[in-house]
Structure 1
Amino acid sequence: MLTLQRRQLVGHDILLARHGNHISAMRVDRQSGRVVAYLDDGSTDSAPNMISPGLRMPDTMRSVLRDDWKFFAVMTACTTGFAGAMTAAAVALAGMSGDPGMAELLTAYSGT
């Protein structure tokens, strides 16, 4: 079952355990997969952001869209094409009919 949760940054916890209140700022270096801490004395320290490289992290909305964007694009295109074909078929059926009542029936939307 897909559960969308915010990913926990393990590097933050590691750096907090190492330095506690001596951290002035932290940033995430996504390219190297590390969290970098700037300390009060001007030095820096970093920690890996994952416990194990093979560990499967919880899915987020961004990761689902990043992984499945092609599927969503194809489904959107298919749905749009099907809706266009149904609209064209209704208009064509209304045009082929010689009865104005049939044309009104096929093209009008009843709110009741």
Structure 2
Amino acid sequence: MLRTRQRVGHDILLARHGRNITSMRLDRQSNSVVAVLDDGTVDRAPNLIAADLALPADRTGLTSEDRKVLGIMTAACAGLGALMVGAVLAMVQFGEQLGLTEAAQYLSTY
């Protein structure tokens, strides 16, 4: 069990600093991992994951906040798509009156 706890802090420090780490040690008093970097600075990472961490409730892996953001983005993209389709249909409808069909035929020859 202790080995799993050590990996959490080590992984955090490796993600932050990568190859710039000179040495790492476990500080049992504060339950964290301490890394000494190439430039002499020291960084710490906790060794336990917080108990109040918000985890997804279902098998999809999405929280309610994620669903809310995805819903807003989906609605915005659908609205923009509908607006663009409406603009294309309006151009087709009024194209002859505005001379767009002649311009389209002229451009398609190139």
TM-score (norm 2): 0.42
User: Which structure has more helix as a fraction of its residues?
Assistant: 2
Higher relative contact order (CA 8 A, sep 6+): 1
